[in-house]
Amino acid sequence: MFGIKSDWSLEVKDRYFTLDDYCGVEPRWCTGCGDLGILTAMHKVCREAQLLPEKIVSVSGIGCSSRLPHYMGTYGFHGLHGRALPVACGIKSRRPDLDVWVATGDGDCFSIGAAHWVHALRYNMDITIIVFDNGIYGLTKKQTSPTTPEEYLTNTHPGGSLLPPLNPLTVTLGVTNVSFVAQMVDWNPPLLYETLKAAHDHKGTSFVRIIQRCPVYMEQRSLDLQNDPADLLLLKHDDGIPVPDTVQKMFKNQLEHNPYDLGAAFTVAANTEKIPLGLLYRNPNARRYDEMTRRGLNMTDEERLKGLNEALDKFAV
Amino acid sequence: MLNQTDLTTPQPASLSYEFVPGGEAEPLDEHIVEIVSDSGEGAQKCGQLFGAISAQMGNGVWTVEIIPAEIQPPARTPEGASGIRVRVGSRLMTNMGNEADLVIAFNEQVLLSRIAAGAYKEGTIVLLDDMWASDPLEEIREAYASALEYIKSRGLILHEVSIQQECLKVIPDPLKGKNMFVLGMLCHIYNRDPQKGLAEIGKIFRRKKESVIRSNQELFAVGYDYARENVDYHFDIAGKAATDKPMVVMNGNQAIGLGVMASGMELVSMYPITPATSASHFLADDFNLTGGFVHQAEDEIAAIGFAIGASYAGKTACTITSGPGIALKTEMIGLAVMAEIPLVIIDVQRGGPSTGLPTKVEQGDLLASLYGAPGDSPKVILAPATISECFHFVTLARRLAESFRTPVLVLTDANLATGMQPFERPECDAEWFAPPIDQSDWDESVAAFDWHDETGLSARPIPGMRGGEYVLTGLAHNRRSKIAYDMVSNQMGCDMRSRKLAALAQTLISPEIHGDQEGDLLVIGWGSTLGTIEEAVDNLRATGKRVSSLHLRFISPLEPGLHDICTRFKKVMTIEMNYSDDPAASLISKETRRYAQLAQVLRAHTLLDIDCWSVVQGQPLQPGNVTAIIKERIDAIAGAK
């Protein structure tokens, strides 16, 4: 098949992939679930970039969001609750050729897997982390999550959630060596696509928090935001998430925000009155651990044998 | 004599000294030497070098470290005793032996703690630093004087030696360097070639400044001369006839590290935990020689998760830990079993439960390894018994992991971890390395878990293989790795994973019996107790007792033929370093008695009344104790006739 590139040259490819090539089994998320839109955007990013399906690994933990690998036609790893990130980093450590995506949720990433969240950000390996944040535990049926709004009624806090929700953005921005932090809502497909594309293009760990609809256990939070986008703040910058003209006018509140300015990113992230959408922070120069872990990857057996003998000879008597 | 050339001019790292040879030496078959000090005084380094020098002279050597749990425990306290035991003999040494024959002590308090631990006997020679006799503090002088009386009253042969004072003539702060003086003393006392001592010092300090090497070599030479002039003991332990085969000497954790390199694995993912970490320290230094990388993860769970990620992606990886780490990794081990991910897990066992005895030995993780995961979680468990096996079993583990698509646990312990023993240098072969990962196209008609009905074995698609795309899951799944909660699929998956162990068992041979093929008593052991048990069995066989032993290397699956072997003996017992109820203890009856861990497994496996003896004292077993235990049992059998 073929594709026409922007300079009008014709690129003939042996293989051309359609959206179908990135689809796995039919999703079993609830009707109206925001996860479906995220999955569609991911498929589109893969198709637009013509990524080789056999080189993609989508890794997840446990929860509604973590079913995502099954809905991708690529390699996938549906592991343990909270533990997607160590597995994803391990995959990348000695296989730099693989394109690693992580699908995780607010419980998976910010609660049971919180240690790995912090450290994966610091490792800054070239992986794309998408957090499906619906503010509630879905798969286990409506327990309080770290991002559940205060006083919201859940099955574990029937009198209302006791504490103010965790702010994942300020925590993320506080991690040394963090290199890409964005936030988006699931119900704006053009912006969601641009966000995931920018995240995937970034060299290093891209962290994207997606505020996601749960029509079953947390309907009101997203309905309010959908009906009145006054609480949303669109971040704009030449090096930010490109904003298609068609969606510009949907946002009353817009802010020119320099994504290289960590201090400004904190200010935007800490403002819980206005939910920022777009790229908060980007640091293309952060150290990348995957460039260190791949050390010695291309050694030949002869070189290895020589090295082994050298190591052993240090113990010779 | 020390060759006092001008030390200010640059010289090659190894200085030359002319040593006056010692006089007539008393020949010995073997001796057990201890060096005990406060923590941080380098007794262990001294003992390791003494062991290495002896190994070079053709002797059998076994070392055991005496390690306090703290880095800097209070000085001059019995709890802070730090040191090393070196057993040197004319034949192969496989264990720590019984009481020590000679001890060099840096202060009297650490010596008292070793006396309390039963490490010495009447007639043990004690060389004690006399610096405390002239200490400015009266209470120290008094403590020293009263200890001297006590030591003599115990029948130990005490000699005061001037370690500190003599070292002060060479260096201003003997805290760093006394150990090399003592090494020099030992080399004279045991008629070791002092040139080998100088060479070893040059080797271990090769990364330090030349002045450091030189001052340590000088301390060594001064110590050698001091012993020649002031210590009457002069022994010789003949080495074996020189063999053509090159030897190496290392401890079990270094052997594990080298084994990882030899296996072709490229990643060790770990979290610091005693007594496992030194394996990773070694790899952090040398793994680059074979292109490998040590990942220090944020916690034990992340450490195994990272290794699982690499393994899933085709680069079988290794995680090295100890008991509490195994506990944390349990859920991940279950995932690796369920999703059939090859993985090598090394557990350097320490005393438990909980944090237990961090620096001390136990074989307490056998049942946790076997059964620690929810549901049925069959996996391969290996138990190396010698330092050499620590090296070779890693490659075996990697191969089994890949061939049988399963995690493989390798159980070593703190005794193997720090014990040093010379063994034949392995002839390394590139065949040991993992083959390059397969990135050819996958036949799409073959499922991700294309289980062979009889063996449970299946080929594995590796990410990057076109057409092999599948989603690995820890949920119950069918052959195509699709989530399947139906009645048939979970039963099938469990069948197939269990079948792999049966398939592996088919390839194993029956364990060798040490001693006669039948008799009154068979002793079964596993892991680091091999040398002790065999020495005890040999002692008793020499007195006509009909006792044999066997040592298991495969714990899961068990080696075949065990039932038949056991029935050839009147009684069978295990000897282990984990907990079991003493049958004579209060409330303990046939119904309430809890058996040692391997005994439990073997009783279930053979349906035979297999007895056990085990202790959890944090110490390696001694052949003298084990001889007494076995003799008691075998005499009871004879009495019952």
Residue B473 to chain A, least CA–CA distance (Å)? 5
Q: Which residue of B has its CA nearest to A62?
A: B474
Contact A311 B258 (CB under 8 A): yes
* Residue B73: per-residue pLDDT: 83
Instruction: Burial-class residue B254 by CB neighbours within 10 Å (0-12, 13-18, 19+).
Output: buried
Portion 66-85 of A in contact with B at CB < 8 A:
69-70, 72-80, 83, 85
* Residue A113: per-residue pLDDT: 97
Domains of chain A by start residue, with CATH: 15-288 (3.40.50.970)
Tokens, residue A229: 């986008």
* Residue B631: per-residue pLDDT: 97
Instruction: Pick the residue of A87, A297, A313 with the most B CBs within 10 A to test the interface with B by mutation.
Output: A87
Contact B289 A307 (CB under 8 A): yes
User: Distances from the Cα of B374 to the Cαs of A139, B309, B371, in angstroms?
Assistant: 21, 21, 8
Portion 465-504 of B in contact with A at CB < 8 A:
465-475, 482-483
Domains of chain B by start residue, with CATH: 26-237 (3.40.920.10), 249-427 (3.40.50.970), 438-507 (no CATH), 519-640 (3.40.50.920)
According to DSSP, residue A65 is labeled G
Q: Which residue of A has its CA nearest to B425?
A: A316
The DSSP bridge pattern shows strands B102-105 and A10-12 to be: unpaired
Q: Which amino acid is at A204?
A: G
Cα radius of gyration rounded to whole Å, chain B: 27
Residue A257 to chain B, least CA–CA distance (Å)? 33
Which residues in chain B touch residue A94, judged by CB atoms under 8 angstroms apart? 266-267, 293, 310, 313, 315, 317
Mean pLDDT value across residues B223-245:
88
How far apart CA A53 and CA B470 sit, in angstroms, is: 11
- B10 pLDDT above the threshold of 80: no
Q: CA angle B139-B145-B150, nearest 5°? A: 120
Task: Render pLDDT for B351-377 as a digit per residue (tens, 0 to 9).
Answer: 999 999 999 999 999 999 999 999 999
* Residue B175: per-residue pLDDT: 84
Mean pLDDT value across residues A230-255:
95
- B1 pLDDT above the threshold of 80: no
Check if the beta carbon of residue B36 is closer than 8 Å to that of residue B105.
yes
Q: Does B264 touch chain A (CB under 8 A)?
A: yes
Which residues in chain B touch residue A78, judged by CB atoms under 8 angstroms apart? 471-475
Place of tokens 């001037």: B162
Portion 182-211 of B in contact with A at CB < 8 A:
203
Instruction: Burial-class residue B632 by CB neighbours within 10 Å (0-12, 13-18, 19+).
Output: exposed
Portion 265-324 of B in contact with A at CB < 8 A:
266-267, 269, 286, 288-293, 295, 297-299, 301-315, 317
> Do you know the residue count of chain B?
641
- B2 pLDDT above the threshold of 60: no
Check if the beta carbon of residue B577 is closer than 8 Å to that of residue B363.
yes
Portion of chain B with pLDDT greater than 70, in percent? 97
Portion 171-210 of A in contact with B at CB < 8 A:
none
Place of tokens 């959908």: A226
Check if the beta carbon of residue B87 is closer than 8 Å to that of residue B93.
yes
> Do you know the residue count of chain A?
317
Instruction: Pick the residue of A64, A116, A315 with the most B CBs within 10 A to test the interface with B by mutation.
Output: A315
Q: Which amino acid is at A193?
A: Y
Q: Which amino acid is at B239?
A: G
Q: Is the dihedral of CA B1, B4, B5, B7 positive or negative?
A: positive
Tokens, residue B558: 């068990």
* Residue B70: per-residue pLDDT: 77
Who among B267, B430, B469 is closest to A74 (CB)?
B469
Tokens, residue B328: 């944390």
Which residues in chain B touch residue A305, judged by CB atoms under 8 angstroms apart? 428-430, 433
* Residue B80: per-residue pLDDT: 87
* Residue B21: per-residue pLDDT: 75
Mean pLDDT value across residues A10-34:
92
Contact B267 A94 (CB under 8 A): yes
- B8 pLDDT above the threshold of 60: no
Check if the beta carbon of residue B230 is closer than 8 Å to that of residue B173.
no
**Average pLDDT along chain B:** 94
Tokens, residue B420: 């040093």
Task: Render pLDDT for A46-97 as a digit per residue (tens, 0 to 9).
Answer: 999 999 999 999 999 999 999 999 999 999 999 999 999 999 999 999 999 9
According to DSSP, residue A148 is labeled P
DSSP per-residue codes, B78-144: GGG-EEEEEEEESS---S--SS-SEEEESSHHHHHHHHHTT---TT-EEEEEGGGGG-SSHHHHHHH
ipTM value = 0.96
Task: Render pLDDT for B88-130 as a digit per residue (tens, 0 to 9).
Answer: 999 999 999 999 999 999 999 999 999 999 999 999 999 999 9
According to DSSP, residue B209 is labeled -
Check if the beta carbon of residue B269 is closer than 8 Å to that of residue B319.
yes
Which residues in chain B touch residue A75, judged by CB atoms under 8 angstroms apart? 461, 463, 468-471
According to DSSP, residue A230 is labeled G
Q: Which residue of A has its CA nearest to B332?
A: A80
Check if the beta carbon of residue B87 is closer than 8 Å to that of residue B281.
no
- Higher-pLDDT residue of B133, A9: B133
DSSP per-residue codes, A241-284: ----HHHHTT-S-EEE--TT-HHHHHHHHH-SSSEEEEEEEE-T
Cβ-based contacts under 8 A for chains A and B: 202
- B525 pLDDT above the threshold of 50: yes
Q: How far is CA B451 from the centre of its chain?
A: 38
How far apart CA B253 and CA B605 sit, in angstroms, is: 31
Which residues in chain B touch residue A74, judged by CB atoms under 8 angstroms apart? 469
Mean pLDDT value across residues B610-622:
96
* Residue A151: per-residue pLDDT: 96
Q: Does B443 touch chain A (CB under 8 A)?
A: no
Min mean pLDDT across A94-98, B209-213, B260-264, B441-445 is at: B209-213
Residue B198 to chain A, least CA–CA distance (Å)? 14
Check if the beta carbon of residue A129 is closer than 8 Å to that of residue A59.
no
Could you give the 3-state DSSP secondary structure of residue B194?
helix
Which residues in chain A touch residue B472, judged by CB atoms under 8 angstroms apart? 76-79
Residue A120 dihedral angles phi and psi, to the nearest 5°: -65, -40
